[in-house]
């Protein structure tokens, strides 16, 4: 009946106001849906996960100076030792481990560069790794309290001219233009990692700007993730608005998937975003600190974004708007 009434209303309303009316109908429908979903989420009981995000505020110069590699890791270890023993998960940011670790590593005993396991907590950290073919990767490793390591996650979307040179595989001379750019190898899919203390918590990491790409979070949740974690290092942007913009964009991944997003960064902005997009806490930029919180683990919700549509509605709207603008421009030229 609602759609019949809407169709009749569109037919009756003058042509001039139809676009406005249709827009208001869609906006009202989306708002009502969002309001109802928020109420449903607040009524539900979710398992809880105790987390601690470490921000050691290591400068770019110190982070990439081989003389400080061990000292940098020690800074994170020192802060982690003060975390409550009841915490389930401790997270360090992107590429804390600057020495290359074999990506097939299964225990901390296989590398002297990895930190010792925490007494009772799982530890998720960023590390540089290499494959059996000696290809470097930007990775995330989860170290369990018993010292075993879950299968690594490898960054899927690499930064051009930072982690690889576009077309260098086909035109080798391009790589010589800036021979300081690494030639990293991309991962092929999400990593789904179960946590030790909370069986309902299935973690999937993202690295750097991957939390701005909706499809990666969607793939992770469709594969079974109940918690999303982003490891990043926005120190490159200094005291600009970029780190805050990064956090705001990342918040949409929590809303789209209805999952808690844990963002651990080197210098900021480290923060926790709940499944409704609300901030549960954040650390000041360019400061050393620990962000501790208890977060909900949503296990049952499948949003339209994750279960059905993905990014296609937004793409379709964009294409329709572009096509409409093109047709209108052509008509204007014809009628002149």
Q: What are residue 267's phi and psi, to 5 degrees? A: -125, 0
Q: Where does the pLDDT of residue 167 fall: very low under 50, low under 70, confident under 90, or very high at 90 and above?
A: confident
Whether residue 182 is predicted with pLDDT greater than 90 in this model: the reply is no
Provide the domain count of the chain. Answer: 2
Q: Is 155 a residue of the active site?
A: yes
pLDDT for residue 168 = 77
Give me the domain span that covers residue 209.
47-309
pLDDT for residue 322 = 82
Does residue 56 share a domain with residue 152? yes
Mean pLDDT calculated for residue range 161-165: 84
Does residue 134 share a domain with residue 216? yes
CA distances from 265 to 159, 248, 304, 333 (A): 17, 14, 30, 52
96-143 per-position pLDDT tens digit: 999 999 999 999 999 999 999 999 999 999 999 998 887 899 999 999
pLDDT for residue 211 = 95
Q: Where does the pLDDT of residue 332 fall: very low under 50, low under 70, confident under 90, or very high at 90 and above?
A: confident
Could you tell me which residue, 328 or 137, shows the higher pLDDT?
Answer: 137
Question: Of all residues in the chain, what percent carry a pLDDT higher than 70?
Answer: 92
Mean pLDDT calculated for residue range 185-196: 94
CA dihedral 78→272→217→134, nearest 10 degrees, is -10
CA distances from 318 to 31, 156, 210, 324 (A): 20, 25, 22, 10
Does residue 213 share a domain with residue 94? yes
Residue 316 lies in a domain: no
Whether residue 41 is predicted with pLDDT greater than 90 in this model: the reply is no
Residue 10 lies in a domain: yes
The CATH number assigned to the domain holding 255 equals 3.60.110.10
CA distances from 17 to 12, 20, 274, 292 (A): 10, 5, 39, 52
Does residue 14 share a domain with residue 160? no
Does residue 144 share a domain with residue 104? yes
Does residue 94 share a domain with residue 5? no
Q: Where does the pLDDT of residue 311 fall: very low under 50, low under 70, confident under 90, or very high at 90 and above?
A: low
Q: Is 94 a residue of the active site?
A: yes
Residue 179 lies in a domain: yes
Which residue among the candidates 94, 210, 247, 256 is catalytic per the annotation?
Answer: 94
Q: Where does the pLDDT of residue 6 fall: very low under 50, low under 70, confident under 90, or very high at 90 and above?
A: low
Which residue among the candidates 155, 210, 247, 256 is catalytic per the annotation?
Answer: 155
pLDDT for residue 174 = 76
Does residue 95 share a domain with residue 15? no
Residue 35 lies in a domain: yes
Does residue 75 share a domain with residue 32? no
Domain edge (last residue) among 10, 28, 43: 43
Which residue among the candidates 63, 163, 208, 210 is catalytic per the annotation?
Answer: 208
Q: Where does the pLDDT of residue 314 fall: very low under 50, low under 70, confident under 90, or very high at 90 and above?
A: low
Mean pLDDT calculated for residue range 250-271: 94
- CB within 8 A of 44, min separation 6: which ones? 298, 300
Q: Is 208 a residue of the active site?
A: yes
Does residue 24 share a domain with residue 115? no
Q: Where does the pLDDT of residue 313 fall: very low under 50, low under 70, confident under 90, or very high at 90 and above?
A: low
Q: Where does the pLDDT of residue 16 fall: very low under 50, low under 70, confident under 90, or very high at 90 and above?
A: low
Does residue 75 share a domain with residue 24? no
Q: What is the mean pLDDT of the chain?
A: 87
66-78 per-position pLDDT tens digit: 988 999 999 999 9
């Amino acid at each position: 009946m609602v759609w019949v009434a809407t169709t009749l209303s569109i037919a009756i309303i003058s042509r001039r106001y139809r676009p406005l009316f249709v827009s208001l109908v869609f906006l009202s429908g989306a708002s009502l849906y969002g309001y109802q979903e928020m109420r449903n989420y607040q009524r539900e009981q979710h398992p809880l996960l105790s987390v601690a995000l470490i921000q050691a505020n290591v400068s770019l110069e110190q982070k990439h100076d081989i003389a400080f590699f061990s000292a940098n890791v020690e800074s994170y270890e020192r802060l982690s030792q003060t975390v409550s023993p009841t915490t389930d998960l401790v997270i360090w940011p992107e590429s804390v481990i600057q020495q290359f670790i074999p990506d097939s590593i299964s225990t901390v005993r296989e590398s002297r560069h990895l930190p010792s396991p925490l007494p009772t907590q799982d530890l998720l950290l960023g590390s540089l790794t290499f494959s059996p073919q000696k290809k470097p990767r930007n990775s995330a490793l989860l170290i369990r309290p018993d010292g075993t390591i879950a299968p690594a996650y490898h960054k899927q979307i690499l930064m051009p001219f930072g982690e690889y040179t576009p077309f260098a595989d086909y035109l080798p001379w391009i790589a010589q233009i800036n021979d300081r750019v690494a030639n990293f190898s991309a991962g092929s899919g999400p990593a789904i990692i179960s946590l030790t203390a909370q069986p309902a918590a299935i973690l999937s990491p993202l690295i750097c700007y991957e939390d701005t790409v909706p499809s990666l979070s969607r793939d992770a949740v469709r594969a079974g993730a109940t918690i999303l974690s982003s490891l990043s290092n926005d120190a490159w942007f200094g005291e600009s608005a970029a780190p805050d913009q990064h956090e705001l964009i990342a918040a949409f991944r929590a809303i789209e998937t209805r999952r808690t997003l844990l963002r651990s960064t080197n210098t900021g902005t480290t923060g926790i975003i709940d499944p409704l997009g609300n901030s549960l806490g954040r650390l000041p930029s360019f400061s050393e600190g620990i962000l501790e919180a208890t977060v909900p683990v949503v296990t049952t919700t499948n949003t339209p974004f994750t279960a059905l549509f993905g990014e296609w509605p937004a793409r379709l709207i964009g294409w329709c708007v572009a096509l409409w603008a093109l047709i209108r421009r052509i008509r204007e030229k014809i009628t002149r």
